[in-house]
Structure 1
């Protein structure tokens, strides 16, 4: 005799209860340890190698030696997990957070994907441990919009379990967890869950909004974008504190979700420095991308411009290519306009697409007075390239209108003036028009700027460089310590 529907429903509920109770039992048995406010970490002499002692400043040995107790132990009161669900090597701000915490005696677990070279000082420091997250299979990466909607849930599930495992089981419980946002999904939910069970204080570092980036792919009215915005607002509420990269972003956070964020502007770290004329000449002659043009760059017949890009939809490289094609044509008509070597650094999904466009323009004779090349450089070489250039280019358009490109900060760190896309609210928080840089809103506008700056007597470019040199005096540690250092209760 078949069971009645109430019996069938009861059986289903009992089965579900057994599954849930089993899952809860497994979770409790394997529950990761919680942070204890009564136990601090320790660093001893044995944590350092002889090589670490020879590089005492970079390895943290100097700090240990100056602050250890009579028993040779250094207690680390500040422990922090710094989380980026992305490539650590391409997340400079999070690496700078780690280095700043470490330089003041805190222990750091830097958690993320290890796909490119990590900052050498991060690798060297014995106060920092890099904890890799297992990347998702390549089969879950999709550029097609329909395929993206199909594989996205599977990708999120993979990220949930790999991130949870890294936070809960590959690392010890910490006092603080600092999470980069975006990506928001699933980072914020997993971080909240782990922080709740591990007695950890969550801090969200807002670089942008996840939903605004998603809207660039799906459209602002798409249901998933609406859901993503709701999710982002929901999981931002219980964090202990928030950082925002601009004052404008802090205002939006307060208006949209009543989130009180501390503005923590990006500033250049110390390895970005202006070069002397000798250092510039040496570098230009040694870098393969610039060696054959080194003499021409130094005598001014060629100008060196640099742009760093992630080759994504929020940076319109086609605009720069169009501007350089137009500039090349103008240089052909006016011998007073110098030629340009443009070096584009970075990695990203649209790189090959634009490389094909560059090659097509060259083959069709559209770039006789401009040479465009791409490069992927070490941190030291990238800093030297910026210090050797005549002008930096920012193509960042900002999906939200309230974030800022860190590449401009790095350029200012070497005294390099900048021109960039300026049609978003936060631009003026970083660039002072006509003093340390200039803005444009079209390819024609960029072409005209390049001609004006390179084609005259050089006075206008000299003024911008002087302003950039003044800006480079404002450093990351000067901005970080009064804001983040105070929150994490670190001593100067």
Structure 2
């Protein structure tokens, strides 16, 4: 008779789609450790927006929100899922997650494990400052309940050292590794992917730029020989090839939070566009469509078009989308989108360059997106941080 399988509850107070590390924990536990896994997380609903409130009212509203979340989370952890042997909780956020999971683990006699991705108080300090009373309370809460854990993981050796020296917490470094489905994309996979994304890339609503103008669409069914065209690829019969006049594809994934300053990317795009125009002595008075048609028919190759695709969801997305719409660029286009779990690694493996603008609020975490990009064989341009030298340790 088979021994009873263990059970683990993976807890994320937030959108599980924006927490790949916890998704991979769940997959690894189920497929390699052969345990039952329950995921307690949001499915991706928008967070509550607190607009037009005074400082005092906002603080009260946040306290009320945290209290409601605490009781809902305890109810789920204690009554809605079978008793697990272990709770693994992502931190941050710390409030009220750590307290709720600690209470549930105590009442159900389960182990309480914290996976430290960053420090919640340091993220809060981005908007309030480190001396703010709310930040100090958050820091105390995070450390108090963090020390109650039966075990801890963390993402870097630098964070391990900080937890041991200043928090009194012993943690094991568990580097992120790219799953097997992050790999270079074959030419056929690229073509199929770009066919699926063709409308989003070539025909976005209300956008006219160097990628949208002149596109012929994914297919031409009026010919005897099957022909398909995308922005990057074309198929004639059974033969697939990359288009010689395709744009350079630059990919960045983000949670659209304050620790990623996308104005850097916008400024780089403007700089490239202006320098190319100056090098070619192009007149600012000329119609943009004249240049775009030349780029599409292949008569203007010297400097490539650049398509930036930025994937992800988060609070600052609308802000940057508004800034992007105001840009008037001849050789640079932007697309913001949310990709399926199947298409995201394929897009990484199809790109020419990856960009990570993550700057750690604590200086101790590591952007997993860089590891995933390396897994796809993608060169990466990343913001320099004190833990970037640990990226190689995260690679298999």
Normalised by the length of structure 2, the TM-score is: 0.80
2:303 is the counterpart of 1:342: no
Would the aligned equivalents of 2:201 and 2:335 in 1 still touch at CA under 8 Å?
Answer: no
Query: Aligned match of 1:99 in 27, 34, 48?
Result: 27
Residue matched to 2:390: 429
Q: Structure 1 residues 142 and 154, CA, compared in 2 at 3 Å: closer, same or farther?
A: farther
Listed as ranges, the matches of 1:406-425 within 5 Å are: 406-422=368-384, 424-425=385-386
Residue matched to 1:268: 178
Would the aligned equivalents of 2:324 and 2:334 in 1 still touch at CA under 8 Å?
Answer: yes
Would the aligned equivalents of 1:233 and 1:257 in 2 still touch at CA under 8 Å?
Answer: yes
2:102 is the counterpart of 1:192: yes
Query: Aligned match of 1:306 in 246, 251, 255?
Result: 251
Listed as ranges, the matches of 1:312-327 within 5 Å are: 312-327=257-272
Listed as ranges, the matches of 1:380-395 within 5 Å are: 380-395=342-357
Q: How far did 1:228 drift?
A: 1.2
Higher relative contact order (CA 8 A, sep 6+): 2
Listed as ranges, the matches of 1:69-84 within 5 Å are: 69=1, 74-84=2-12
Query: Aligned match of 2:232 in 285, 289, 294?
Result: 294
- More moved, 202-211 vs 348-357: 348-357
Residue matched to 1:243: 153
Would the aligned equivalents of 1:76 and 1:105 in 2 still touch at CA under 8 Å?
Answer: no
Q: Which whole-Å CA distance do the structure 2 matches of 1:171 and 1:191 have between them?
A: 13
Q: How far did 1:286 drift?
A: 3.9
Q: Which whole-Å CA distance do the structure 1 matches of 2:52 and 2:182 have between them?
A: 35
Equivalenced residue count is: 338
Residue matched to 1:114: 43
Q: How far did 1:220 drift?
A: 1.0
The CA deviation string for residues 403-436 of structure 1, in whole angstroms up to 9 with x for no partner, is 11111122112111110111x211121169xxxx
Which protein is bigger by CA-based radius of gyration?
1
The CA deviation string for residues 81-123 of structure 1, in whole angstroms up to 9 with x for no partner, is 110011112211111111111113101111011127xxxxxxx
Q: How far did 1:281 drift?
A: 3.6
Would the aligned equivalents of 2:232 and 2:246 in 1 still touch at CA under 8 Å?
Answer: no
The CA deviation string for residues 275-295 of structure 1, in whole angstroms up to 9 with x for no partner, is 123332443344224464215
CA RMSD, aligned part only? Answer: 2.2
Q: Structure 1 residues 108 and 307, CA, compared in 2 at 3 Å: closer, same or farther?
A: same
Structure 2: runs of 5 or more not aligned: 203-214, 216-230, 235-241, 281-301
Would the aligned equivalents of 1:331 and 1:339 in 2 still touch at CA under 8 Å?
Answer: no
Query: Aligned match of 2:89 in 163, 179, 183?
Result: 179
**Runs of 4+ deviating beyond 6 Å:** none
Structure 1: runs of 5 or more not aligned: 1-68, 117-134, 433-470, 475-492
Q: Structure 1 residues 226 and 409, CA, compared in 2 at 3 Å: closer, same or farther?
A: same
Q: Which structure's residues are more often helix, by fraction?
A: 1
> What SS does structure 2 have at the residue aligned with 1:407?
helix
2:139 is the counterpart of 1:229: yes
Normalised by the length of structure 1, the TM-score is: 0.65
> What SS does structure 1 have at the residue aligned with 2:84?
coil
Residue matched to 1:333: 278
Q: How far did 1:170 drift?
A: 0.4
Q: Structure 1 residues 290 and 415, CA, compared in 2 at 3 Å: closer, same or farther?
A: farther
Residue matched to 1:462: none
The CA deviation string for residues 16-69 of structure 1, in whole angstroms up to 9 with x for no partner, is xxxxxxxxxxxxxxxxxxxxxxxxxxxxxxxxxxxxxxxxxxxxxxxxxxxxx4
Q: Which whole-Å CA distance do the structure 2 matches of 1:372 and 1:223 have between them?
A: 40
